[in-house]
Amino acid sequence: MTTPFLPAVSLITLGVADVPRSRRFYEALGFTASSQSNESVAFFQLSGVVLAVFGRDALAADAYVPSEGSGFRAVALAQNRASTEEVDAAIAHAVACGGTLVKAAETVFWGGYSGYFADPDGHLWEVAHNPFFPLSDDGRITLP
């Protein structure tokens, strides 16, 4: 029997105030926008998943929910790196591209090293080195 809901994520969509601005930010980080992108939505192929930026009001309307709200959204995207030096470099690059430093990288309680930046719309990104999660050559985690 096939399960009705797969344990997978195909697409992550961030609601943003200005799609062209967000596209420029993610391209400055090194992401490549798909040819399917336009002024209303931008798609970026990541390692095994697609990231999309879409107008916040349009995204809310599509889901039939109000678009108001700010502050902590109880979600953070994360990227693991092979070393603490790579974490520091990735966060510095994100800030140089227009992101905001939220928390400088530091040794954390669970035995790794991580910090946070926010994209131009305040979406949190954690960049971490987790010595307990080995990475493949393309940056993917395979849980033990």
Q: How confident is the model at residue 87 (pLDDT cuts 50, 70, 90)?
A: very high
Q: What is the pTM of this model?
A: 0.89
H/E stretch holding 80 reads strand 76-80
In this prediction, residue 110 carries a pLDDT of: 93
Report, as an integer, the average pLDDT of 62-82: 87
| pLDDT value at residue 50 | 96
For the chain, give the mean pLDDT: 92
Q: Is the pLDDT of residue 1 over 70?
A: no
Residues 87/105, Cβ–Cβ less than 8 Å: yes
CA distances from 125 to 47, 87, 88, 144 (A): 16, 12, 13, 24
Domain 75-144 belongs to what topology? 2,3-Dihydroxybiphenyl 1,2-Dioxygenase; domain 1 (3.10.180)
Contact yes or no for 118/70 (Cβ under 8 A): no
Alpha helices in 10-143 (DSSP H): 19-29, 56-63, 84-96
* CATH placement of domain 9-64: 3.10.180.10
Domain ranges in the chain with CATH number 3.10.180.10: 9-64, 75-144
Q: Would the pLDDT of 134 be above 90?
A: no
45: β partners: 50
Which two three-digit tokens encode residue 141? 């985690």
pLDDT in tens, 2-42: 778 878 889 999 999 999 999 999 999 999 999 999 999 99
Cα 35 from Cα 32, distance rounded (Å): 9
